Amino acid sequence: MIQTFTQNDIIRYVYNETTEDENILIQDALISDAEMLEFYLDMLDVQAGLDKSYRHPSPTSIDTILSYSRKSSESHHTTV
Amino acid sequence: MEKIHVNDSELVSRYIQFSDEHAFETLVRRYKSKVYTTIYLIVKDTYVAEDLLQDTFIKAIDVLRSGRYNDEGKFLPWVLRIAHNMAIDYFRREKRYPNVVFEDGSSVFNTLDFAEDSIEDIQIRDETHSHLRSLIKLLPDSQREVLVMRHYEDMSFQEIADATGVSINTALGRMRYALINLRKMMSKNSPSYDTNLYSE
């Protein structure tokens, strides 16, 4: 008998929070449940979009951080 | 040529023990976009996000230098927690969302910060991704919160449930609605999708 899964289970599966045993059962269920498969593919599509949606900070911010680190290293060594 | 990938734990160790600036720079460059995007999606303002990104890493530096770092090698979740707290503290100080921002969330003060990219780079990047980011900002607060915590901060659903004081099923439900709503908004030109947003 194929176990029934909810959309919440698919969300856990998409985010790798299901167990190995659950993975096998979910993969079986996806083969036989076209609606669930469509939902799964939609969620993967959104997830892929989110992965590509990263913004990048300005080089100025990174320079400020690295500069602070170098200065803190100098002061750390003079006080130790 | 493929660079050798040194893991976070090793880089942190080199930085703490030998003040290896190159190790720290590698960590910063490895995670700057992830941390920055997380902050940006919370505060919705690139100018504020730039400031908070600097504050986040400066705090991380201070903790690492002081010898108080003890996170069993999990550098990214630790930095993301600092970033999240910085963003929340910002809201507590301001007690409101910033008003003077462009439609894509950018501020008039920092448009020059991106001038080092070519115009073509900026156009390609923005056209591809700014739409989705603007859609994320349209989500109800509870859904956006879970989405940011799970997708960008790498918190588990149980950790999110604990942090937000709800059951794991509620956290999962909010994430599900967030993703479904984003999918609907992304596909709004397709007649097969309705454009009504789900709320809890």
CA distance B197 to B177: 8
Q: What is the extent of the structural domain holding B185?
A: 139-200
Please count the other Cβ atoms lying within 10 Å of the Cβ belonging to residue B35.
26
A75–chain B Cβ distance below 8 A for any pair: no
Q: Is residue A1 part of a domain?
A: no
- pLDDT at res. B67: 87
A35 in Cβ contact with A57 (< 8 Å): no
Whether residue A69 is predicted with pLDDT greater than 90 in this model: the reply is yes
Q: Tell whether B92 and B171 lie within a shared domain.
A: no
Q: Is residue A36 part of a domain?
A: yes
In the stretch 136-195 of chain B, residues with CB closer than 8 A to chain A read: 136, 147, 150-152, 156-157, 169, 172-173, 175-176, 179-180, 182-183, 186
More confident residue, B47 or A31: B47
Are B19 and B88 within one domain?
yes
When pLDDT is averaged across residues A17-44 and rounded to a whole number, the result is 88
- Overall domain count for chain A: 1
Is A68 within 8 Å of chain B by CB?
Answer: yes
Euclidean distance between CA atoms B87 and B143, whole angstroms: 17
Which of A50, A57, A68 is nearest residue B50 as measured by Cβ atoms? Answer: A57
Tell me the residues of chain B between 34 and 53 that have a Cβ less than 8 Å away from chain A: 34, 36-37, 40, 46, 49-50, 53
* Residue B108 or residue A31, greater confidence: A31
| Residue B77 lies inside a defined structural domain of this protein | yes
Is residue B110 assigned to a domain?
A: yes
CA–CA dist B21, B43 (Å, integer):
30
**Torsion B93-B96-B101-B102 (CA) sign:** positive
**ipTM > 0.90 (yes/no):** no
Asked whether residue B66 is domain-assigned, the answer is yes
Domain boundary among the residues B117, B148, B177 is at B117
Strand, helix or coil for residue B157:
helix
Q: What's residue A1's pLDDT?
A: 52
Is B33 in Cβ contact with A55 (below 8 Å)? yes
Indicate whether B113 and B179 sit together in one domain.
Answer: no
Q: What is the reported pLDDT for B68?
A: 87
CATH for B101? 1.10.1740.10
Judge contact between A57 and B12, C-beta under 8 A.
no
Over B70-116, what HEC string results? CCCCCHHHHHHHHHHHHHHHHHHHHCCCCCCCCCCCCCHHHHHHHCC
| C-alpha to C-alpha distance for B111 and B65, rounded to whole angstroms | 33
Q: Tokens 């890493």 correspond to what residue? A: B57
Question: What pLDDT does residue B106 have?
Answer: 43
Number of domains in chain B: 2
State which residues form the domain around A18.
7-79
Residue A50 lies in a domain: yes
DSSP output for A29-78: HHHH-HHHHHHHHHHHHHHHHHHT------HHHHHHHHHHHHHHHHHHHH
Phi then psi dihedrals of residue B95, to 5 deg = 60, 20
Nearest CA in chain B to A73: B19
CB-closest option in A8, A64, A72 to B172: A8
Identify the domain boundary among B117, B152, B182. Answer: B117
pLDDT at site B129: 65
Predicted confidence at residue B154, as pLDDT, reads 85
Residue B162's H or E segment, with its range, is: helix B157-164
> Does B60 map to a domain?
yes
For the domain that residue B175 is a member of, what is the CATH number?
1.10.10.10
Q: What is the structure's pLDDT at B196?
A: 58
Whether residue A29 has pLDDT greater than 50 = yes
Tens digit of pLDDT at every position of chain B (200 positions): 445 678 899 999 999 999 999 999 999 999 999 899 888 887 878 899 999 999 999 999 999 999 888 866 589 889 988 998 888 788 777 754 444 444 444 443 333 333 344 555 555 555 556 778 888 888 999 999 999 999 988 889 999 999 999 999 999 999 999 999 998 887 763 444 444 566 65
How many other CB atoms sit within 10 Å of the CB of residue B2? 4
Last residue of a domain, one of B117, B152, B185: B117
B146 residue type, one letter: V
Q: Flag whether A18 is in a domain.
A: yes
Judged on CB neighbours under 10 Å (0-12, 13-18, 19+), B150 is buried
pLDDT at B103 (0 to 100): 45
User: What integer pLDDT is reported at residue B123 of this predicted model?
Assistant: 56
